[in-house]
Amino acid sequence: MITTFIRRLATLVALVIALIAMNQAKSQAAEPDKLRIAVILSAGIESGWDGTLIEALERVKAKKPHGLDITWKYTDPLWGDDAGDAMRLFAESGQYDIIWANSTYSDQVKKLKDEFPNILFVVVGSGNEGLGGNQYWIYKRVHEPAYLLGFIAGKMSKSNKLGAVGTFVADDVNDEINAFFAGAKAANSKIERTVAFIESWYDPAKASEFTAAQIATGADLVFQLTGTFKPCEEAKILCFGNFQDQNSFSPSTILSSTVSLWDPDINLIVDAWWAHVAEGKPYAGNTEKHWFPMKDGGSTMAPYHELEAKLPENVRAEVEELKAKIMAGTFEVPLDVSDPKAH
């Protein structure tokens, strides 16, 4: 009797072990090994905004998060209905897992997200609406490295006048311009500001005109958010680039730049997609702005390259000390998104 019971118990245990093994095998078989991303560009890969995203995708791909083979396809710059039509084509093709719309596209995503609940949609930056669910809202702020650039400018300015030329008056443009001047004021209380906006994502002629006007009125260093450095070269002054290391655009003038690093943002999205597909967790897109600060790898400051000798050694040391405090979280760069022209 006891022997029979033991045999039956052993058989039952073996069956349970077999079922567990089968479920584990099924689970492992269900885990995806590929991730396909469609990217809607807003300005083109030549721009710092879109170009740095593609560079970060390359870095993340090389690290193979969750063992995934990550591939992507990006569009030419698209807006409005054209962007919405492209998103629908990508979604209906069934070939893409994530649609990353790299600017203000929540109006277009709103029309699609519920129709395609298994696709993860991403929108980026100001002007978007936090829809939650399968829409994730990424924010990019580079105001912390902008503060460091401003600190340098405040230390180096001889005229005590600094310029900044921006694209549009927007939350995530204002923040870095205001931080630049906050850093400059921290270094030199006599600093005066001149701010202009070209009201375009790309207008070299207008950007050059506004930059030249600032230089003509005495600005001897300019924070250039529009990628136009010819006036700085002609005036033989130093400028600062934005969103990517732009020194190669004008090696004789660009002392440093703010640099956007999308790696933590991409990893956040990949993890959310993985949790949904491999672990069955519902999408939980954020409804409030979310960004990674400098200490968490969201941004940095470009090296000085061959212009390092133009920066006094004591200023370099002060900047490094300030950067270390930001990275340690012991100094917080003020976040001011008000209109810089109103100051």
**Local structure of 134: helix, strand or coil:** coil
Q: Which pLDDT value is given to residue 25?
A: 36
Q: Which pLDDT value is given to residue 28?
A: 40
* pLDDT at residue 128 is higher than 80: yes
* pLDDT at residue 7 is higher than 90: no
- The sign of the dihedral angle between the CA atoms of 263, 264, 265, 268 is positive
Per-residue pLDDT averaged across 189-204, rounded?
93
Could you tell me the strand order of the sheet in which 221-224 lies?
Answer: 192-197, 161-166, 221-224, 238-241, 254-260, 299-301
Q: Which pLDDT value is given to residue 52?
A: 97
**Local structure of 37: helix, strand or coil:** strand
Per-residue pLDDT averaged across 305-327, rounded?
97
Per-residue pLDDT averaged across 137-153, rounded?
98
Percent of the chain's residues with pLDDT above 70 = 91
Spatial distance between the Cα atoms of 330 and 313, rounded to a whole number of angstroms: 23
Per-residue pLDDT averaged across 27-56, rounded?
89
Per-residue pLDDT averaged across 263-285, rounded?
98
Spatial distance between the Cα atoms of 50 and 77, rounded to a whole number of angstroms: 9
Q: Mind listing the pLDDT tens digit for each residue in 224-271?
A: 999 899 999 999 999 999 999 999 999 999 999 999 999 999 999 999
What is the residue-averaged pLDDT of the chain?
92
Class of domain 33-140+262-280: alpha beta
DSSP state letters, 312-342: -HHHHHHHHHHHHHHHHTSS------S-GGG
Q: Which pLDDT value is given to residue 174?
A: 97
* Distant-in-sequence, close-in-space partners of 336: CB < 8 Å, separation ≥ 6: 174, 175, 178, 179, 182
- The sign of the dihedral angle between the CA atoms of 177, 180, 186, 191 is negative
Per-residue pLDDT averaged across 125-141, rounded?
97
- The residue written with tokens 């030549």 in the block is 46
Per-residue pLDDT averaged across 289-295, rounded?
97
296 is written with which tokens?
Answer: 């968490």
CA angle 97, 99, 104 (to 5 degrees): 160
Spatial distance between the Cα atoms of 273 and 278, rounded to a whole number of angstroms: 8
* pLDDT at residue 178 is higher than 60: yes
Percent of the chain's residues with pLDDT above 90 = 87
CATH number of 143-259+297-342: 3.40.50.2300
Spatial distance between the Cα atoms of 61 and 178, rounded to a whole number of angstroms: 35
Residues of the chain with CATH 3.40.50.2300: 33-140+262-280, 143-259+297-342
DSSP state letters, 157-194: -SSSEEEEEESS--HHHHHHHHHHHHHHHHH-TT-EEE
Q: Mind listing the pLDDT tens digit for each residue in 62-93?
A: 999 999 999 999 999 999 999 999 999 999 99
